[in-house]
Structure 1
Amino acid sequence: MNNDEKINVWGARVHNLKNIDVEIPRHSLTVITGLSGSGKSSLAFDTIFAEGQRRYIETFSAYARNFLGGMERPDVDKITGLSPVISIEQKTTNKNPRSTVGTTTEIYDYLRLLFARAGKAYSYATGEEMVKYTEEKVIDMVAADYSGCKILIMAPVVRGRKGHYRELFESMRRKGYLHIRVDGEVKEITRGMKVDRYKNHDIEVVIDRLAVKGNDDERLKKSIRIAMKQGDGLLMVMNHDTGAVKYFSRRLMCPTTGISYSDPAPNTFSFNSPQGACPRCKGLGYINEIDLGKVIPKRNMSIYEGAIVPLGKYKNQMIFWQIDAILKKYDCTLKTKIEDIPDDALNEILYGSLETVRIDKELVHTSSDYFVDFDGVVKYLHDVMENGESSNGQKWADQFLAECVCPECKGQKLNQEALSYRIWDKNISQLANMDLVELREWLNEVGNHMDDQQRQIATEILKEIRTRIDFLLEVGLDYLSLNRQAATLSGGESQRIRLATQIGSQLVNVLYILDEPSIGLHQRDNDRLIRSLKELRDLGNTVIVVEHDRDMMLNADYIVDIGPKAGRKGGEVVFQGTVEEMMHTNTITAQYLKGEQQLQKGRHRKGNGQLLTLRGCRGNNLKNIDVSFPLGCLILVTGVSGSGKSTMINETLYPILSQHFYRSLQKPMPYDSIEGLEHIDKVVNVDQSPIGRTPRSNPATYTGVFADIRSLFVNLPEAQIRGYKPGRFSFNVKGGRCETCGGNGYKTIEMNFLPDIQVPCETCHGKRYNRETLEVRFKGKSIADVLDMTINQAVEFFENVPDILRKIKTIQDVGLGYIKLGQPSTTLSGGESQRIKLATELSKKDTGKTLYILDEPTTGLHFEDIRILMDVLQKLVDRGNTVIVIEHNLDVIRQADYIIDMGPEGGRKGGEVLSAGTPEEVAKSKKGFTPKFLLEEMKRNSDAPDKPCGGSCADA
């Protein structure tokens, strides 16, 4: 292989990489693998991608680089053969609720263009198709329809708006117009004329009264032109004798009611634009309303006892005096139970009184009664939310809110005008709510239901939309809809959306680097993903994938294995070559690929005999399902992407338990009932969100062990003599930290159009603490030395300090011995963050009745890391706890005590429980895709069930 056909990296030393040389063939699918923390991402993203991006930015002028911000040069001797680089990482695209799959992929932008150019407008009042006339056409129609009749030509100037309009009438009078039509009645315009400002009005100025002689009548032409100008393209003609009115417009207009639309533009159909967004929900599709069930949760209590939660128990305050005055009108008191108070009285208390409330003089301690307006409890809460300066006050009011579908647009996000444009009887919102398979079928047929002009306009737009949707279908996202919020996508889903976009761009000679694209994919969809990556390669690109998936490795052209272990013991190239060559080596990865190393079988626990049962789950695509979880077991929830796993566990079960145990404000998806809560005493959700957002957060602070370490240092004789307190040993508090760098350990030097440089603090040299603090030592180590230890080193160092050892030993037990105690949380992967959270929970004393929930904990984990993780989870269950895991990894599924398989497909074709039981029982089922792959995995590991059954375990 000559140098033109490969990417060469010489002397890479980023993070833990040990001055390695790597050779990667161009135009290949290359997998970089290895244990977590071995240095895979350091090589792929922090070295190869960082250098490619830096070189691209270096081609810009110094002036342009000043605005872009520069890139730091990675610590590497030389890289050759580098193409332009595109990184596709597993970050969720956008947390903005206005960002959707449609806006991210730009498919919705093409749909907006399609409706703006080829959509047909219909009246939202009558459903009739809107019409549009030229000025000449209007003159001809008026002359023909009213030939020989006396008519009034009028220009609409106000349509259904409030106001007194005194200035408008005066302006028209000065222009010489004598009559005006207000709410259907023609009146003479008089000086100082006005109307009721609190009512909606329709006002038309009378331009002319004349008898129609024909279309060559100059007076008629002139009057129509003036009316069109005054009415902004719209005019009304009224028959003088009959009073019948007809509308004519240069713009789109309803022929019956005269409602007119502006000419459509793409922004007319955007829920992110004021032109298209629903005015009530501002384009979100939902609004926050006061939930009366939260305001008055117990109707068998009195207001005096605190039945109205926002007000609390009775206090000698104005609002209680007002409520007391209202109740007296209905022969009730503050001590009357809510259930005994008449509905009318309760409505006045909640929504305000229509009349002024009189408060007795005894209450206000004056010689006369006191009269006040009472707006109600709901208005009070709204005021706190909208006008409250205190974030705590707003947070307090938010607890009484419930998110509900916008009553005006019914969740469709757009205003009624935008929703009135249709193509083949569908508006744009209906299309955006279809799943991608259904939308693709509609696009296949829509051309047959268009007229010639529409077809001519739409051909290229439809072609572009179909192409983009096809790429999304190829990467297994058929269950998504264009309206799906980007914030609700998993990291794997958002990564595959960007992958589909790149395939669609048809670029060549590009280097793509992907971070575990198989995350969240069922084994069925893995083949489609691999096919897409090979397609990207076959276009003439180089594809590098950081991956642990067995199928991905076996389909790769080239493998780079980093190891041999993690952290300080990693950072070396233990193998690079083809899959066939790898099978002749003895690396940890090769041992698992060859089957020499295997994850153990499940324990086949029967559980403790108790069940947690959910009934009537119907959130998102769940089809009113009942599901039981045997407690004291390791339970795996499986199924293809979009089948309803996360909806059932993360959005229904967890919020129910969280509300029950911790009074959480998160609202569960719709369900009927839950049974068996008495059998568990707490719930723990171990997700992959970061343990902290700033570099000041680290494993020591998150797990709480840093407080114990600081206490240890405070109790040392040297610290006692000096009178140091725990804050002395915190780098976040003044006193003990280095004030030159503020406890960061480094200073950032701004380099204008060159990248900012972080240099060690010249005072503390990266130690974070001042000299006096560092003089206190335990076993010869300062607090800074301790933070710089790896977990493995710390376990040895603190072997005789039980409180500290217990917490850091659990971090070691979950396979994170290679990370440092003080490692910034921003440098940890999602999988590492999840395992730190798991370690934190493990270090706490459990009662044996805890329910743990994990969503794809194998993300970012090598086979060996999965073995360590599963050992930890099995120990949790051995202690009597219940662990529920959402997972696609067959090695993990095989270890379950109980499996709940969802499906059969994703989206609207999913949401059912297909089978439930032990791995052997589920593998016998004929329903869904999981049993087939599970059976193959069991055969490979020689623990398959004897023979398949007819799917009878589906109702287990």
Structure 2
Amino acid sequence: MTDSYVRVRGAREHNLRGIDVDIPRDALVAFTGVSGSGKSSLAFGTLYAEAQRRYFESVAPYARRLIHQVGAPKVEEISGLPPAVALEQRRSAPTSRSSVGTVTTLSNTLRMLFSRAGDYPAGSTGRLDSDAFSPNTAAGACPECHGLGTVHRVTEDSLVPDASRSIRDGAVAAWPGAWQGKNLRDILATLGHDIDRPWRDLPPADREWILFTDEQPVVTVHPVREAGRIQRPYKGQYMSARRYVLHTFADSKSETLRKRVRQYMTAEPCPVCGGRRLRPEALAVTFEGRDIATLAGLPLATLAELLRPTAARPGDAPAPALARDLVARIEVLTELGLGYLSMDRPAPTLSAGELQRLRLATQLRSGLFGVVYVLDEPSAGLHPADTEALLTVLGRLKEAGNTLFVVEHDMDVVRHADWIVDIGPRAGEHGGRVLHSGPVAALADAEHSATRRFLFAAAPPPARTPRTPTGTLALHGVTLHNLRDLDAAFPLGVFTAVTGVSGSGKSTLVTRVLAEAVQDHLGTTDPRPDADDTTTTEDQDTGPAPRARLTAATGLETVDRLVRVDQKPIGRTPRSNLATYTGLFDAVRKVFAATDEARARGYTAGRFSFNVAAGRCETCQGEGFTAVELLFLPGTYAPCADCHGARYNPETLQITYRGRTVADVLGLTVDDAAGFLADVPAAARSLRTLKDVGLGYLRLGQPATELSGGEAQRIKLAAELQRARRGHTLYLLDEPTTGLHPADTEVLLRQLHGLVDAGNTVVVVEHDMGVVAGADHVIDLGPGGGAEGGRIVAAGTPAEVAAAPGSRTSPYLTRARSRAYPERS
């Protein structure tokens, strides 16, 4: 390396416009710009991708195909680029058996501590290997529950909630209509059971056989006339209710169906291991008088205190050496505000920000130097108090001789950078240019930068009077996770922000307890408009998540509807896109079907769906691309050789509307489509709301897999806004500004305040103090995380919470209120 800069020439990844930029090494460099401007395309899609490509050139071809590769970037030249490590935002962990201990590898060290230095019971013949202390291995897993800690049981009470009903009236509630359907009663009648007697009056042997038999007889039901029509004949294998429930829970890929059968199961602690997941011989080994499951269940900060006396002992014996390593690594996690987590906390229950900080702490202890760390919004999900700790850790990584490239929207983090690369000026095809690359202070001279006005101090905002609530929704005696007998009041008809440090209980209170209370009142099962039929981050192996306990809930009668808007993907395949999710593609297909040529050919709206065989390209099955398998190299994708990415067959593409094919329309941006489809009311309404939430740069057919979490959340909000509003709706949003530039946050907040002005209630879990300062009401939880949180420290207007003693939020809220923050209108 001839100098101290990474030099990029001719970068054209995604929307980058052949940019040239020089970036210093051994520095903290912030990449900024509005959402969709191209900053991630530069940091991850170009710099990290090129570093990875160079590394893989030294790896054997056979090994390369076993490792995920991001592909070679579109760039002419990059010089001075060191090896790189990427820490990206991920919404979930790979499996439900993954935990804080496995993500950080702390569990490996703890198992070694018990294996080498644990106190074994009298009569033990030898020391156990470290694998014997892992519930994820055959050597350590409890033989009864297979390392899950719970056993699932199906009982008569769970299967037959109302024993006064007969089988004909649906006494056996575990059978959904889609399974054996209305034939069930005839099947049991054919087998000789009385289907008209109340369930409780049936002989015990019959009830036992119907619910629990493992027999699977083949039954033939002949056609019978009923209600003036003849049933179709049925011939199939009978399956008992318990067998069906357990089989569906274990094997079904449909999360909807799994949720349906969960209500007919009970999850109980394993009677052998007591929920501790390990074999008895492993649980018999102790350290400081406690077994490994007990230590793994302690908050990390508490565990470190327990190990400190052992770590302080001199010498290189196994116990002090391993304890010192554990304490040192836990201290880094505590610095990052994660001391409230326990080692056995399932990774799927963690937020993306928590997961990224766990990986960041692991890197800090790795001892690497001379590398580039590329981080995707490390401040995501962090309270300002936790962000200060994050900056300390980033500083230590830099002092160790590393370079940090940080894609960031938090202006407090950006102010601490040594260098800033600002991309813009806008998103999509209107972005992709370097507006500034240099010291942070020099950004003040970048005329077209959207970041500039948020980075530097502004005049205090004008005084604002909070809205007057129209009522109160109150929860009493809430107990769940770290919430203990909590009373919480949410004013109705206003904008409420729920704040607190990471792990204080904000999401538990709002997205779990409040949401469950309202949906129970409304009689709904899943109020999210984006609920899909795929697996979620919920621990699939341990059954239903625990529900909150509360003594009372008042004020629910004024809420007519519940809407939750989160950052989960709107789809997991390229077939899902902005147009299909919002429903505007239905209007587009109808327009094409109504053309004279389409009517003459007999084409219906279905013809213009790329998911229907009649209209799609059969070579790529409507995907627009085909997989290319390479020998000894990872597979890749290429545009379909027949349709060239259009997704449709030639006959369908012969139909045009105002000179464009349906593929052409899917290629339009929202901004362009708004003009092209202005005379199509159903499409125009959707496009208008998408523009209102700042997504005018997205293409209608942009695959869901290419959308960020912030973009997905705004698409969901747009889909909700385009619906006819009726009654009083409660909107719940969990950190809606995550992934948003402050300019995009302004756009989002205008829409949310508009919902409140229309007579609805909005409750957001939020760390952005600018958003909190503009709220009508604030609920601050804490004072700390985990066991130290779960209490309401302060509640009231932003001014009242800013003045509250004992609140870790108040000093940051005070500072935010002295600056400009987004207006409501």
- Taking the aligned partners of 2:512 and 2:433, their CA distance within structure 1 comes to 42
Change (3 A) 1:657 1:343: farther
Map of 1:360-371 to 2, 5 A cutoff? none
1:420 aligns with 2:419: no
Counterpart selection for 1:536 from 382, 397, 402: 397
1:316-327 equivalence runs, <5 A: 318=188
What amino acid sits opposite 2:795 in the alignment?
A
Structure 1 residue 308, shift from structure 2 partner: 4.4
Aligned residue runs from structure 1 range 485-884, under 5 A: 485-586=346-447, 587-596=449-458, 604-609=466-471, 611-659=472-520, 660-664=522-526, 668-754=547-633, 756-884=635-763
User: Of 286, 289, 302, which aligns to 2:153?
Assistant: 289
Contact kept, 8 Å, 1:691 with 1:825, in 2: the verdict is yes
The answer for the alignment partner of 2:138 in structure 1 is 274
SS state at 1:618 partner: strand
1:49 aligns with 2:41: no
Given that 1:794 and 1:808 are in contact with CA atoms closer than 8 Å, whether structure 2 keeps it comes out as: yes
Deviation at 1:466, TM superposition (A): 1.5
Matched-pair contact (CA < 8 Å) for 2:163–2:198:
no
Deviation at 1:777, TM superposition (A): 1.4
Q: Could you tell me which amino acid in structure 1 is paired with residue 341 of structure 2?
A: L
Asked whether the 8 Å contact 1:385–1:398 carries over to 2, the reply is no
**Structure with larger Rg:** 1
In 2, the alpha carbon distance for the partners of 1:527 and 1:389 equals 45
Q: Decide whether the 8 Å contact of 1:8 with 1:79 is kept in 2.
A: yes
- 1:436 Cα deviation after fit: 1.0
Write the distance in 2 (CA, Å) between the matches of 1:421 and 1:487: 29
Cα drift, residue 402 of structure 1: 3.6
Q: What do the CA deviations read for 1:204-250 (whole angstroms, capped 9, x no partner)? A: xxxxxxxxxxxxxxxxxxxxxxxxxxxxxxxxxxxxxxxxxxxxxxx
Equivalent position of 1:204 in the other structure? none
* Change in 2 beyond 3 A, CA 1:74/1:85: same
Cα distance in 1, alignment partners of residues 5 and 586 from structure 2: 51
Post-superposition Cα deviations, 1:155-189, rounded to whole Å, max 9, x if no partner, equal xxxxxxxxxxxxxxxxxxxxxxxxxxxxxxxxxxx
Which residue of structure 1 lines up, in the alignment, with residue 77 of structure 2?
Answer: 78
Q: For structure 2, which runs of at least 5 residues remain unmatched after alignment?
A: 177-181, 214-237, 527-543
| CA displacement 1:343-394 (0-9 Å, x = unmatched) | 99999799879xxxxxxxxxxxxxxxxxxxxx99875556655898997987
Whether contact under 8 Å (1:110, 1:465) holds in the other structure is: yes
Partner of 2:810 in structure 1? 931
Contact 1:567 1:819 in 2 (8 A): yes
Q: Find the aligned partners of 2:482 and 2:299 in 1 and give their Cα distance.
A: 11
Residue 334 of structure 1 aligns to which amino acid in structure 2? R
Aligned to 1:422, the other structure's residue is in SS state coil
Q: Is the 8 A contact 1:70 1:756 kept in 2?
A: no
Q: Is the 8 A contact 1:656 1:668 kept in 2?
A: no
Query: Residue 772 of structure 1: SS of its match in structure 2?
Result: helix
Query: Residue type matched to 1:578 in 2?
Result: P
1:305–1:904 CA distance, 2 compared to 1 (3 A): same
Pick closer, same or farther for the CA change 1:99–1:561 going to 2, 3 Å: same
* Offset of residue 678 of structure 1: 2.0
Rounded Cα–Cα distance in structure 2 between residues aligned with 1:771 and 1:490: 46
The CA deviation at 1:651 is: 2.3
Contact 1:621 1:907 in 2 (8 A): yes
**Is contact 1:323-1:349 (8 Å) kept?**
no
Q: In 1, distance between residues paired with 2:677 and 2:385?
A: 47
User: Could you tell me how far apart the structure 1 residues matched to 2:546 and 2:463 are?
Assistant: 37
Asked whether the equivalents of residues 688 and 830 of structure 1 are also in contact (C-alpha less than 8 Å), the reply is yes
How far has the Cα of 1:931 moved from its partner? 1.6
Q: 1:343 to 1:939 in 2, by over 3 A?
A: farther
Q: Secondary structure at the match of 1:505?
A: coil
Unpaired runs of 5+ in structure 1?
A: 123-129, 133-250, 253-262, 326-332, 354-374, 944-956
Q: What letter is aligned with 1:505?
A: S
CA distance in 1, matches of 2:193, 2:806: 61
How far apart, in 2, do the equivalents of 1:317 and 1:737 lie? 42
Distance in 1 (CA, whole Å) between partners of 2:674 and 2:249 is: 52
Amino acid at match of 1:589: T
Structure 2 CA distance for partners of 1:797 and 1:447, relative to 1, 3 Å: closer
* Pairs within 5 Å for 1:159-178: none
* Shift in Å, 1:796: 1.2
Q: What residue identity is the alignment partner of 1:61?
A: A
Separation of aligned partners in 1, 2:638 and 2:140: 50
Between the aligned partners of 1:315 and 1:781, the Cα distance in structure 2 is 55
Give, as a single letter, the amino acid of the residue that structure 2 aligns with 1:15: H
1:562, 1:571 within 8 Å by CA — same for their partners in 2? yes
| Aligned residue identity for 2:486 | I
Aligned to 1:104: 103
Q: CA deviation at 1:771?
A: 2.3
Q: Structure 1 stretch 8-17 or stretch 59-68: which is displaced more?
A: 59-68
- Give the Cα–Cα distance (whole angstroms) in 2 for the partners of residues 387 and 647 of structure 1: 27
Structure with the bigger RCO (C-alpha within 8 Å, sep 6+) is: 2
Supply the RMSD in Å over aligned alpha carbons.
3.1
Partner of 2:538: none
TM-score where L is the length of structure 1: 0.76
Cα displacement (A) at 1:757: 4.7
CA contact (8 A) 1:617 1:671 kept: yes
Q: Would the aligned equivalents of 2:461 and 2:819 in 1 still touch at CA under 8 Å? A: no
Amino acid of the structure 1 residue aligned with 2:130: P
Give the fraction of aligned pairs with identical amino acids, expressed as a percent: 43
Whether 2:197 is the aligned partner of 1:334: answer yes
Displacement of 1:550 in angstroms is 1.2
**Contact kept in structure 2, 1:29 and 1:545, CA below 8 Å:** yes
Q: Helix, strand or coil for the counterpart of 1:276?
A: coil
Rate the CA distance shift 1:70–1:892 in 2: closer, same or farther, 3 A: closer
Listed as ranges, the matches of 1:151-230 within 5 Å are none
- Which of 239, 254, 264 pairs up with 1:400? 264
Q: Over residues 93-128 of structure 1, what are the superposed CA-to-partner deviations in whole Å (9 max), with x where a residue is unaligned?
A: 624121110111111111111111111123xxxxxx
Q: Is the 8 A contact 1:70 1:753 kept in 2?
A: no
C-alpha deviation, 1:900, in angstroms = 1.1
Q: Which amino acid aligns with 2:14?
A: H
Q: 1:942 to 1:550 in 2, by over 3 A?
A: closer
1:280/1:602 CA distance change after superposition, 3 Å: farther
Contact 2:304 2:326 in 1 (8 A): no
* Contact 2:461 2:818 (8 Å CA) reproduced: no
Please state how far the C-alpha of 1:88 moved relative to its aligned partner: 0.2
